[in-house]
Structure 1
Amino acid sequence: MTLPIPFKGVFTPDVLRSDHAPFWAQNIGAVMVGDTANFRNPHYHQPSDTVETLDRTFFAGSAQRVVDAVTQLLSSNKPLTTAN
């Protein structure tokens, strides 16, 4: 699923909390991949955020979707980047 983020995320600051944000700020295309952990996992970035508190089934499904998307991108004949 994709979610368009207008105005470089100014009105949705939660989408700017990752490594892609500085690229967006410089008008460089970047992708944020997230699983909404900070909204659904009470252990997110807490001392209790350990391997034992992970939802392993959800994690495996999320990781597989990323692998599938990258595989699809790499197997297409479309370039991954474009020059401006």
Structure 2
Amino acid sequence: MEIQAQEFYPQIIADLKEQIATLADQKATQTALVTLQQREIKKLEEQLKEVLEKKEATEKELAAEKANHAGPVHTKGGNE
């Protein structure tokens, strides 16, 4: 019985090595995907920051333009 069990050991070891190699490949793939996602997130954060800065600048320009166009308010008065 022990002889038969020993015949399976090389196959079991080979299967385990194959599983380890598969897991290593999966981990490498997952690590690469995470790196890509982190880069994309950073890129999107930078784009968002730029958009918010442009929005703020545009709002300031709009407020200044409204203030310039409003001018003094004319009221009736004086010699009527």
TM-score normalized by the length of structure 1: 0.28
Higher helix share: 2
Normalised to the residue count of structure 2, the TM-score between the two structures is 0.29
- Structure with more contact order per residue of length (Cα contacts < 8 Å, sep ≥ 6): 1
